[in-house]
Structure 1
Amino acid sequence: MFHKNKVASVVALAVMSMSGALSASANDNSDEISFALEEVVVTAQKREESLQDVPVAVTAFSGLQLEEAGIQTIADLERVTPNTTLRPSRATNTTLTAYVRGIGQNDPLWGFEPGVGLYIDDIYFARPQGAMLDVYDIERIEVLRGPQGSLYGKNTIGGAIKYVTKRMTGEAELDLGLAVGSYNQNDISVAGQLPLIEDKLYVGATVASFQRDGFGKNKFTGADNYDKDISAARLSMEFSPSDNLFVRLAGDVTRDESNNRHGSRLTESLQTGEAPHDPYDSNAGAGDDQVVENSGGNLTIEWDLSDSVTLKSVTAYREGSTEGFIDFDATPVNTFDAPVKYADHQFTQEIQFNYNSERLALVGGLYYLDGYASGAFDVIAGAALGAPAVLPQDASYPTFVAATQGTAETTSKAVYLHASYELTEQLTMTVGGRYTKDEKEASVYKEKLFTDGTAGGASAEFGGVNVNSLVVQSDFTEGDEWSQFSPKVGFDYRIGDDTMIYTSYAEGFKSGGVNMRADVTASPEGFSHVFDPETAKSYELGIKTELFDNRVRINAAVFHTNYDSVQITQTVLIGTDFVPSVATNNEQVIDGLEFEMVAQLTESLTANFNLGYLDTEWDKFTNGVGEDVGSDMTVSNQPKLSSFVGFNYEKDLGENGTLVIGANVSYTDEIAMEVALGEQPIDEDAYTLLNLDATWYSADEHWKVALHAKNITDEQYRVAGYNFPAFLGDDEILGFYGDPRTVTLDIGYSF
């Protein structure tokens, strides 16, 4: 276990070693040192600024950095960003579980909202399904930590991930990409743009296909497990009729036909004797077919009214759907199987006002979201009646089925303002606020069926069996509305030209909702189906500095967060019924540290180091029977310590081009996969990942050839799991794992 004194030692050792290397370099070269770090420009505060001028904890990656590091999906950002967890959710390929500074959402059901805001070109993704984005056609990605409500369209309680696609250059261009590698990886991308009216109207398109065999097999069906079969396309048109007006119309579509990701058992099955085996293999009988689709269109208009004033409008519509299966028991029999469907669509409109003068920078906006999400799933429990579980296609035994379906409609309206004013040449004050009004209405239908095991019609969503008896457990429509003002205040002070210290206080808000698994018949009197919003109050102190003639950049922050009304899904045993509830009588205290350093050690050699530390405790956690067991509960999806060390060496080969070689290692401390009473078998021990990258660019800038080796030591590590001991006739305790060792050859050509 790591403690604060060990964290301080790690930071001090890294700083001293890199500073020593820089001092030695300076001593070896008595002449003036000409090399320095390049400036990093971000739009974290809705305007272009140097990273070192932004009093916000933000990590930024350019498209070139992502390319050279072999970043394939936004999940890869976890290892290079402090206090950030980005992972595929349980039993899925493209549903995102995101946590920043210990705040997120582990339950992807349609009654909840994400705890971390995901934005593509300022467009908010309301649902986590399909949010595990592949990185292509990218200009940069920014990860902002802490509440950001005074700057962003939707409530952003934990942090925000900004995915910014490339704008067109105005020239005729065509880029081809091919990547081949382990497990028959075969990725193809084609991106092009064409000017229709010189300096005024351009069109562009990108088409990509990401294909790979599975890391393992479903031993029962022979299908690939952990495979990849994704196709995606983007089409855009940019119009600049004058120097002060920019219009962008864009659309995108993604289709994921990868197989269901089946888990591997961690314990022996009580039904079949199935024992743990290769972590990427499974023996699931529920089914392998899965389809996830996402698409959307958006219109962005930017109008510079003057040198100081800009108006911006972002209008967008998105929709998505998912069909698949979850095999909770990972055996061929139907002990605990669940066919699932999700669908959603959203309309968003944001109007933004941006003003900049010599001493005042102001961002204000109006935001509107109209969202709809729905879903349905059956819980098929073949052994729940005391009979042995059977193969899903076997109709010789009676079966218990619990069917759940519902819809959730959300309307969110907000106004926000963020202003920074230079009180003196060194001291700047920032004040901001956001007023949010969220309205939700949800319909919930739940029933339990007892079938006779013969094929026929059924009232269950996915039934196909004749029903002996049926009990409707829930059939209701409920809703509520919540209003919240979330302030922000901060000060930043400049010490010379290269150092800024800042302090801030900010509040965040995440909407409440309706329990989509509610069981009215089994719920005790007063058992609420509507759950409260979450709130976070965050205090932060940070420093941003550049040393040794801008050859070392250090950004660090400490923070304290009071995280209240934390939304936790619990299953409460009432009589003989397992009743799912959403408890919000929970409070956390989160203390943390973030340290990021980049050092230009020589003209060719760059070093990167970052560290994240989280100390999270439950001030209060009330279990299903009203007992406060806070001190005994774990916190999920947040390692206490995470760190990253990387080196990049760039060599100019003259007429033979440029070679960039990189090596990095990341460390993730032990991590709990769910909130639970003490350690659980699905929790993961600490692990370390080692990666190597080499990229060659031709002198004429047409060719790129890269080799990426990931997880070189072939570390096996869990990223998610299900933990249902002694439930519905078996122990459903499963693990889902990160990628094994892979090697990829990436070739690109630009016309």
Structure 2
Amino acid sequence: MQFTKKLPNYLAGIVTGLFVLSFVGTQYDLSIVSKAQAQATDEIIVTARKRSESIQDVPVAVSALSAAQLEKGNIPMTQDLGKLTPNVVLHDMAYAGAGLSASIRGLNYDDTEKSNDPAVGVTIDGVFAANNGGVNLDLFDVESIEVLRGPQGTLYGRNTIGGVINIKRSKPTRELGAKFQVGVEEDNTQDLQAVVNFPIGDRAGLKVAVRDLTADNWMYNVTNQRTDKDFKDVQSHSIRLEADITDNITIDLIYDDIDDQSQRNNLAITSNTQPFTFCTGIPVATPPIPADALKCASASADLSRANDYSTTYDLIPQFMTYETENLTMNLEIDLGNHTLKSITGDQDSEELFTIVSWGSPTPVFPVTREISFDQTSQEFQLLSDYDGPLNYVLGYYYLDATFDQKSGPVQNFVSGQELEATAIFGEVSYDISDEWTATLGLRYTEEEKDFFVRNFAPLAQGVADATAFQRTGATPAGGFRNAVDQIYEDDYIQHRFIIERNFDTGMAYASISNGFRSGGIFARCTDPVTCAPFGTEEVINYEAGLRLEPSDALVFNVTAFMADYKDKQEQVTTNGLVCGNPAEATCTFSLNAAEVSISGLELESRYYPSESLSLNATIGILDADYDSYDDGGVDISDIAKLRMAPEVTFNLGFDYDVSLPGGDLTLSGSFNGRDSYWGQANWKTFNFAQGPNIEVDSYESLDLSASFRTETSNGNQIKVIIFGNDILEEGGRIARPFDAGAFAFAAPAKRQHFGMKIGYEF
């Protein structure tokens, strides 16, 4: 059942009430709130346009989350940000190192390959990530996060057709001090965090941050009759030095080292009623039980669902390890009425992907993949700071990103790519009058992708040939099954035009912008057809927003948008027979096949009825449909489903502060949820009646926490946080289903989770 069909009446009432409240507040200034109470509202500063501005003055759809909000809401990873932001769906990309599948307003990329660019950009301390690996971070030592919705390419990165997640970590305090925190949670979770700050003279500071996080598996493995220990295993270290070289020049150096040796859960969802390679169609309950039937949903996902997804049946757990070293250097020069910024980033990472049974109690499709990735980027920004009507941002951006991977033993290949991209960009704002402001942004990008792939024979001989080729470049005696060397070049002009009208209680704006996601060649292609280049896709976004602050106690924002999604890149995965591989293998075709129309509404509000109580609400409504989808000359737009695009997302929250004799107590709550949405399948051949279940059910979650802070006699602080996430539902849920043609699988996510954090700060 669609969530929209069972949407509670009170939710519709809240939406209506917020509209009425905003109107009443505009007319009567909400005199029910005293001036003393009004002081509860703190101005939220964001850098959505590369300069510090109040969020209510920014003509961009942006949600801002502070470190305190993340802590109170127990938002431990990037993927959890989707709870609090409208029309945003995030989940763990369990088949990439620290990978993130991100969807904003239905625009997403949900695969592992680094040959394809993400639809949602992620920046960490100003550095844009070139792929979706390594960005599902454990949110530790974070200062703030901004989630920008809609194309942001005129100011951010390269391909940001869906939006940007902008993560900023805390800077050195330049004072001697430390924060220590111990987390004790379910599943034998132990989370040790330490941040120590040192002053270096009067002009510099050093910060050292360390984290050690381990947890056992929350799912019981029935096949192996055990709970896997140290299922999550992450160690990270960070050193940050900030120094004022002169009165006008500041340098910020960051070194990160992350070692993630975690595992993942999988469930087989291959249908027993459809003639998949791994299923015979004979019910498991009918003796004799076919060996292939043990690889299907009846021996995995069906059993797990009956146990509220608290059990798994993997013969061999999936390992997805990730190791990386990152260097970041931010240089800022104050030139009086200008600021010059230099942002340099360097990343060197290694991933090892090992999966054999894909959630089944027997081996299915063994894959071992070694991936190395390197990224170097340089960005310059010149920001004006005039008192007059004209201000601007000008910039230059360069990116060099390289990956190499070796895969086997069923599909043996080596592939790699070197990407070079350069861009010049700028955004100019002009105050036409005291009420009207116009903004124009442009970005010109040139890029080149130098791609190669070599496909080898399956199994043992192919492994040997692939290893020899990777080490020495030796051609196999029998030649390659497929070999591609190709350069893909592209250039593109992005634009954004905004007109805004300011008035006493807020601001209204309208904008038009576009974004692109460049083409290329899919990295695990297997033959000349699947290795054919796919082209650039484009989004044109029309947006109108209203930012209201009718009183010091109420903020109410509404954004409406429409988007035309053209030449949409579709990755269609089938069984291996379609491309000359064994039946148990897979093929992935990359097509510029589709046109999509997207429209929606986003509501965000904060209300302070008293100095102690604050209420917040976010609601996202999305309507996204294929206009056309040409797959091999057949238009399947009437049956194809846009993945990761729920019709409704919402969050209703509160914070209540209580002063106690021994300290301050904050009670926080969040009731959030989303409508059902679809995973990925080959819609041209998908059997909706008999195929695997690749629709993610709608769900709601109630999260509660209590935070107590007290001060010792010498001025040090102690905090205790007790939290429960999704407290009404035990077990788990399906987060990411995928139909690979030959077989289908799904990644589960935990629901109910309780824990406590104890911190000490001086």
Whether TM-score is above 0.5 comes out as yes
CA displacement 1:411-452 (0-9 Å, x = unmatched):
010000011110000000000100000100111111232669
Q: Following the alignment from structure 2 to structure 1, what is the Cα–Cα distance between the partners of residues 7 and 434?
A: 38
User: By how many angstroms is 1:180 displaced?
Assistant: 0.2
The partner residue of 1:404 within 398, 413, 418 is: 413
User: By how many angstroms is 1:710 displaced?
Assistant: 0.6
Could you tell me which runs of 5 or more consecutive residues in structure 2 were left unpaired when the two chains were aligned: 273-277, 280-291, 470-475
CA displacement 1:156-186 (0-9 Å, x = unmatched):
2210011001122221111101000101111
Q: Do residues 559 (structure 1) and 588 (structure 2) align? A: no
Conservation of the 8 A alpha-carbon contact between 1:225 and 1:260: no
Closer/same/farther in 2, CA of residues 479 and 125 from structure 1, 3 Å limit: same
Q: Following the alignment from structure 1 to structure 2, what is the Cα–Cα distance between the partners of residues 41 and 31?
A: 22
Counterparts in 2 of 1:52-63, with a 5 A limit? 52-63=56-67
CA displacement 1:384-426 (0-9 Å, x = unmatched):
xxxxxxxxxxxxxxxxx32122001100100000111100000
Conservation of the 8 A alpha-carbon contact between 2:567 and 2:595: yes
CA displacement 1:510-560 (0-9 Å, x = unmatched):
111112233336x3xxx762111121100000000112x221111110101
Amino acid at match of 1:692: L
Conservation of the 8 A alpha-carbon contact between 1:214 and 1:224: yes
Identity of aligned residues (%): 26
Conservation of the 8 A alpha-carbon contact between 1:294 and 1:318: yes
CA displacement 1:190-223 (0-9 Å, x = unmatched):
101111112x021111001111111114444446
Q: Which residue of 2 aligns with 1:650?
A: 657
User: By how many angstroms is 1:246 displaced?
Assistant: 0.8
Q: Do residues 539 (structure 1) and 555 (structure 2) align? A: no
Amino acid at match of 2:76: Q
The partner residue of 1:258 within 258, 262, 268 is: 262
The partner residue of 1:205 within 183, 203, 208 is: 208
Q: Do residues 283 (structure 1) and 287 (structure 2) align? A: no
User: By how many angstroms is 1:611 displaced?
Assistant: 0.6
Q: Which residue of 1 aligns with 2:721?
A: 706
Conservation of the 8 A alpha-carbon contact between 1:93 and 1:260: no
Conservation of the 8 A alpha-carbon contact between 1:446 and 1:517: no
Q: Do residues 661 (structure 1) and 676 (structure 2) align? A: no
Q: Secondary structure at the match of 2:487?
A: strand
Runs of 4+ in 1 over 6 A off after TM superposition: 2-9, 17-32, 468-471
Q: Which residue of 2 aligns with 1:229?
A: 233
Q: Following the alignment from structure 1 to structure 2, what is the Cα–Cα distance between the partners of residues 457 and 139?
A: 46
Conservation of the 8 A alpha-carbon contact between 1:552 and 1:599: yes
Q: Do residues 619 (structure 1) and 627 (structure 2) align? A: yes
Q: Do residues 326 (structure 1) and 360 (structure 2) align? A: no
Conservation of the 8 A alpha-carbon contact between 2:265 and 2:748: no
Q: Following the alignment from structure 1 to structure 2, what is the Cα–Cα distance between the partners of residues 20 and 131?
A: 39
Q: Which residue of 2 aligns with 1:734?
A: 745
TM-score by length of 1: 0.89
Counterparts in 2 of 1:152-551, with a 5 A limit? 152-198=156-202, 200-221=203-224, 222=226, 224=228, 227-265=231-269, 267=271, 270=279, 271-273=292-294, 274-275=299-300, 276-278=302-304, 279-286=309-316, 288-306=318-336, 308-327=337-356, 329-358=358-387, 359-378=389-408, 401-449=410-458, 458-460=464-466, 472-496=480-504, 498-520=505-527, 523=529, 529-547=532-550, 549-551=551-553
Q: Secondary structure at the match of 1:339?
A: strand
User: By how many angstroms is 1:136 displaced?
Assistant: 1.1
Closer/same/farther in 2, CA of residues 49 and 25 from structure 1, 3 Å limit: closer
Closer/same/farther in 2, CA of residues 211 and 528 from structure 1, 3 Å limit: closer
Q: Which residue of 1 aligns with 2:45?
A: 41
Conservation of the 8 A alpha-carbon contact between 2:120 and 2:161: yes
Q: Is the deviation greater in 44-53 or in 9-18?
A: 9-18
CA displacement 1:105-149 (0-9 Å, x = unmatched):
112212111111100111011122221101111110000011111
Q: Which residue of 2 aligns with 1:719?
A: 735
Counterparts in 2 of 1:619-698, with a 5 A limit? 619-623=627-631, 625-653=632-660, 655-677=661-683, 679=688, 681-698=693-710
Q: Which residue of 1 aligns with 2:287?
A: none
Amino acid at match of 2:138: D
Q: How large is the RMSD of aligned CA atoms in angstroms? A: 2.9
Q: Following the alignment from structure 1 to structure 2, what is the Cα–Cα distance between the partners of residues 702 and 421?
A: 46
User: By how many angstroms is 1:657 displaced?
Assistant: 1.2
Conservation of the 8 A alpha-carbon contact between 1:436 and 1:484: yes
Conservation of the 8 A alpha-carbon contact between 2:412 and 2:459: no
Q: Secondary structure at the match of 2:679?
A: coil
CA displacement 1:208-262 (0-9 Å, x = unmatched):
1111111114444446289311111110111113332111111101111112433
Closer/same/farther in 2, CA of residues 471 and 30 from structure 1, 3 Å limit: closer
Conservation of the 8 A alpha-carbon contact between 1:667 and 1:686: yes
Q: Following the alignment from structure 1 to structure 2, what is the Cα–Cα distance between the partners of residues 232 and 568?
A: 36
Conservation of the 8 A alpha-carbon contact between 1:234 and 1:253: yes
Q: Is the deviation greater in 566-575 or in 207-216?
A: 566-575
Equivalenced residue count is 708
User: By how many angstroms is 1:724 displaced?
Assistant: 4.0
Amino acid at match of 2:74: G
Q: Following the alignment from structure 1 to structure 2, what is the Cα–Cα distance between the partners of residues 340 and 175?
A: 39
